Amino acid sequence: MENLTFTTIFQHVLLDEQYDDNLRMQWSQKYAWLAVPIVMAYIFLIFQVQAWMQKRSPLPLRALLTLWSLSLAIFSIRGSYVMISYLWNGLNRNGFQATLCSDTFYDGIYGFWTCAFGLSKVFELLDTMFIVLRKKELLFLHWLHHSLTLLFVSYSGRYRTNVPSKFTMTANYAIHALMYSYYTVKATGLVKIPKQVNIFITTVQILQMVAGFWIYVIAMQLANDGVSCPLDTDIFYFNSVKYIAKAGVGQVKKVD
């Protein structure tokens, strides 16, 4: 086995044509724990910056925010295209159950975009900085979502035992493609976007959460019935807690 170095990570993980999932697993097993201090530092930093900004004017970050949102929109559009192609081909050729329980999405170009999805959750933490530096309202659900998502993808990515994630990941890519495209246009300030667009995106995000939970329940049931459907029990419960926590916080906010 080739030594795990930053050079081999770049050559075999970050270049989709040479993607080697064994190196990705080695990397994840060795460094997944870093997600915990990263999340702790993230939470500490955003509230420190928010406190620092209390007596200061919002920073003029329109151009930077536009570029940032555009970059994530392009990334998400490409990721959704690749993963939708994978699901489309799998469902047409093999049906729902075989596609759900297959782990082939960890390999090749699909594996690269699965790996890129996990890495992107670190970079998406910067979204919060734009909120606090521009003195916008920082919702509890916002930073809770970012924190739980990073912890989950880091923990569940250590092995090839989270097959339902191909569906939730594809949905997340697609919704982020829409969401960051919306943020890009909004950040420019050149176009007045109807409120219905924001409502539509929020509704789709809620539907994604419900569908994602349902997909994991189906996979867990298949695994319990003896079907070869790689899904660790602890990943299933972690994912369930993540969804319930976000749904609970969202409901509290709605009631308020």
List, for residues 51-81, the tens digit of each pLDDT value.
999 999 999 999 999 999 999 999 999 999 9
Query: Is 135 part of any domain?
Result: yes
Query: What per-residue confidence (pLDDT) applies to 256?
Result: 31
User: Which residues form the domain of 247?
Assistant: 6-255
Region 240-252: what's the mean pLDDT?
Answer: 72
146 is catalytic: no
Region 220-244: what's the mean pLDDT?
Answer: 91
Better-predicted residue by pLDDT, 18 or 106 = 106
Query: What per-residue confidence (pLDDT) applies to 250?
Result: 59
Query: What per-residue confidence (pLDDT) applies to 251?
Result: 45
Residue 19 pLDDT level (bands cut at 50, 70, 90): confident
Asked if 171 contacts 211 with a C-beta cutoff of 8 angstroms, the reply is: yes
Q: Annotated catalytic residue: which of 12, 145, 146, 176?
A: 145
Give the predicted TM-score (pTM) of the model.
0.88
List, for residues 208-227, the tens digit of each pLDDT value.
989 999 999 999 999 999 99
Query: What per-residue confidence (pLDDT) applies to 6?
Result: 53
Query: Is 1 part of any domain?
Result: no
Our count of domains for the chain comes to: 1
